[in-house]
Amino acid sequence: MHAMPDATKGSVSGTADEIARLREELRAEKAARLAVESSYGALQAAFSRLEGGVLLLDTDRVLFANPAIAEAFDIPSERFVRMTRDQFVRELRRSSNEPPDFLDRLRERTPNAVETRGEFEIQWPQWRSLRWVSKPVRLPTGAGLLVLFDDITTDSDLASGREQRALIDDLTGLENRKAGEQSAMREIARARRTGHPLSFVLFDVDHFKSVNDTHGHLAGDAVLREVSRTMMELPRGGDTAVRWGGEEFLVILTDVGLDGARVFAERVRMAIGDLRVAGVGPVTISAGISELETGEDDPAPAIARADASLYEAKSQGRNRVV
């Protein structure tokens, strides 16, 4: 009789082949990882002294960022190389002038033979203008992207950026009083030219001193930020919201008379009344309104009338428009 085939031998042989294949894959993966680490070390040594920024990404994460690019984006190099590619894109969105074509380039996950370039502005930690070039590269682990940055900010650019920042209130992001006075003068000139009405609404957060005394200045800052957010959301595109000082806010309403200003102020008052600031609770606000009168070419008298109306609203019990 002929001997039957030993199925066990075939099974053992298949298992051994599978183990050998897995070992080979692990060796290849380890070799690729070591190659990437070696490439990173070489890049670090070569690019650490460059004035221009250098960024290397694979399909999933940031592999390398030299000191110049880390400084430009105000992100420590060691944190840079722990970021995923998507995290870096989200960080980049914090800039004031989002570079959409650059973000599109960073979102790509497949190799592209086309070199792309452009310019954009960032505002962390300070206003800068950057030129970038992205180049597709092949890495041991697959497709990658090499991005080179040059700082092309001029002294005049920096001066312009400083002037712009000087007109913004740091806490709220609204125009500060200096900028608000400039806006008021500009809108008065336009109203005189067109014959259209111009109104002012002066708001004051009720019992704000009590908020600071009871909950602390950080809570007071949170209240001001929430109120300012509402101030930015409710006005129309041509209107201007200003942090006038302390807990006072001025809104300049173009092409709006007293009746329209009252409607707007009531909308803001009700929206503020719906706020619930963490650790503080409900917040209310009072408002005084005024309209630019014929022959007035300075905002001071109209704002003074709004201030007098605001004082009356406070004396009548607060949380109201006068």
Q: Which residues are catalytic?
A: 247
Q: Give the neighbor-by-neighbor strand order of the sheet with 285-291.
A: 240-245, 248-254, 198-205, 285-291
Compute the radius of gyration of the chain from its Cα atoms: 31
- Placement of tokens 């870096």 in the chain: 88
- 63 vs 40: CA distance, rounded Å: 7
CA 280, 284, 286: angle at the middle one, nearest 5? 145
- 225 vs 171: CA distance, rounded Å: 7
Which tokens hold the place of 3?
Answer: 């001997």
Separation of first and last alpha carbons in the chain: 113
| 100 to 96, 104, 117, 121, 299: CA distances (angstroms) | 12, 6, 12, 12, 40
Q: How many CB atoms lie within 10 A of CB 303?
A: 21
Q: How many CB atoms lie within 10 A of CB 63?
A: 22
Cis before 125? omega within 30: yes
3-state secondary structure of 171: coil
Which tokens hold the place of 171?
Answer: 């806490």
Indicate left, alpha or beta for 292 from its phi (over 0: left) and psi (-120 to 50: alpha): beta
Residues found in the chain: 322
Q: Which residues contact 294 (CB under 8 A, 6 or more apart)?
A: none
Partners of 180 in the β-ladder? none
Are the beta carbons of 266 and 286 closer than 8 angstroms?
no
